[in-house]
């Protein structure tokens, strides 16, 4: 499955042992695909000396800060962007952002 800019997504809520590049504070959070960055060898495998192949698609994903932090005191429109690999994403609710 491949996502396109504007697609609503959710970060997979699961924990995973070992090296991951998806911050724990994004797990289970909803956002949208801002841009497709492209395919790269999987860093979760590269970290253990493996090939990281097949390459995984990497996306620039946007989140509203108020959706990430219970006590967020900044502006309601503040956004956090994070680079997230495709295997950490699942389809989210509500069409395009």
Partner 1 sequence: MGGLPGGPVDRSQHEVEDWERLADAINGALEGRGLQTTDQHRRAIESLEDYRHLSYYERWAAATERLLVEKGLLTSEEIDERAAQLERRWS
Residues that bind partner 1 (CB under 8 A): 18-19, 23-25, 43, 46-49, 52
Of how many residues is the chain composed? 97
Q: Scanning the structure block, which residue is given the tokens 């952002």?
A: 97
Alpha-carbon distance of 6 to 49, in angstroms, equals 35
Give me the least distance between CB of 66 and partner 1, in Å please. 15
Closer residue to partner 1, CB minimum distance, 5 or 52: 52
CB 5 → partner 1: shortest distance, Å? 25
Which residues are within 8 A (CB) of 70 and not within 5 positions of it... i.e. 6 or more apart? none
Rounded to a whole number of angstroms, the minimum distance from the CB of residue 49 to partner 1 is 7
Q: Which is nearer to partner 1, 18 or 38 (CB)?
A: 18
The candidate with the shortest Cα–Cα distance to 48, out of 90, 82, 16, is 16
Among residues 38 and 48, whose Cβ is nearest to partner 1?
48
């Amino acid at each position: 499955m491949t996502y396109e800019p504007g697609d609503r997504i959710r970060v997979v809520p699961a924990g995973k042992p070992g090296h991951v590049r998806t911050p724990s504070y994004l797990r289970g959070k909803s956002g949208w695909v801002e841009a497709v960055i492209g395919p790269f060898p999987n860093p979760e495998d590269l970290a253990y000396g493996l090939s990281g192949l097949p390459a995984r698609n990497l996306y620039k994903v946007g989140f509203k800060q108020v959706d990430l932090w219970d006590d967020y005191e900044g502006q309601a429109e503040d956004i956090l962007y994070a680079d997230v690999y495709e295997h950490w994403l699942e389809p989210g609710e509500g069409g395009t952002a």
